[in-house]
């Protein structure tokens, strides 16, 4: 089955007027093939079969298209993070589950993960991207707050756990782990260690 992250752009959806969605899907496909630096608006246009000027009705430049892919990626990641936690789970278990979900997202939807990282480096002037990314931090911040004595400690724990998740997800893409399960298990173990030592986290 073709995954949503690498699906071929729908020519039918474009012919019904949804050029914006077709371009986003083409960008995801090109990122999967060549990385975030390996595509252009012109190439996305060719991929969906339209003139090179057509994308400018929706996107000012390549970065704007990449930001749109980043919003889609953030929304999908947030859905995975939210679904990962069972109702009534203890805060430490919630953090572990969300770290695991972050790794799974990076493994299953690598083009979206890479696009999200690239878009996130240039959020200035893109309120829609900022709004899409914010719930990711919230997903880690809420259980962290339940484990901490004050807001400052919760912020330190949130950042540390997100660093664990992101670091393992990035290294997984670089081949540092035997498998996604290996990366997930190591990330969960590191998360538990960070939670146990949260009092040692420095401001």
Mean pLDDT, the chain, whole residue set: 88
pLDDT in tens, 148-185: 999 999 999 999 999 999 999 999 999 999 999 999 99
What's the CA gap between 74 and 63, in Å, rounded? 16
Q: How many Å is the Cα radius of gyration of the chain?
A: 19
| Its pTM surpasses 0.85 | yes
**pLDDT of 55 higher than 70:** yes
Phi-psi region of 49 (alpha: psi -120 to 50; beta: other; left: phi over 0): left
At residue 61 the predicted structure's pLDDT band, cuts being 50, 70 and 90, is confident
Max Cα–Cα distance, the chain, nearest Å: 58
Same domain for 81 and 177: yes
**pLDDT of 33 higher than 50:** yes
- Which tokens hold the place of 173? 């893409």
Which domain does 145 fall in, by range? 73-200
Same domain for 117 and 142: yes
For residues 198 and 153, is the Cβ–Cβ distance under 8 A?
Answer: yes
Same domain for 48 and 130: no
pLDDT at residue 17 in the model: 61
For residues 201 and 160, is the Cβ–Cβ distance under 8 A?
Answer: yes
**pLDDT of 15 higher than 60:** no
pLDDT at residue 51 in the model: 77
Specify if 3 maps to a domain: no
| DSSP 8-state secondary structure symbol assigned to residue 123 | -
């Amino acid at each position: 089955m073709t995954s949503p992250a690498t699906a071929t752009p729908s020519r039918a959806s474009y012919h019904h007027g949804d050029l914006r969605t077709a371009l986003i899907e083409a960008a995801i496909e090109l990122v999967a093939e060549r990385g975030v630096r390996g595509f252009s608006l012109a190439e996305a246009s060719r991929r969906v079969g339209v003139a090179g000027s057509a994308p400018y009705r929706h996107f000012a430049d390549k970065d704007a298209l990449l930001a749109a892919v980043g919003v889609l990626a953030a929304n999908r990641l947030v859905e995975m993070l939210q679904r990962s936690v069972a109702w009534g789970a203890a805060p430490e278990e919630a953090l572990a589950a969300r770290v695991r979900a972050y790794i799974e997202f990076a493994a299953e939807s690598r083009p979206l993960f890479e696009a999200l990282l690239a878009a996130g480096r240039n959020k200035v002037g893109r309120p829609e991207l900022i709004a899409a990314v914010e719930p990711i931090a919230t997903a880690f911040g809420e259980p962290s707050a339940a484990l901490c004595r004050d807001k400052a400690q919760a912020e330190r724990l949130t950042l540390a756990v997100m660093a664990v998740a992101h670091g393992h997800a990035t290294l997984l893409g670089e081949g540092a782990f035997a498998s996604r399960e290996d990366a997930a298990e190591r990330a969960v173990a590191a998360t538990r260690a960070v939670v146990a030592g949260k009092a040692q986290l420095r401001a």
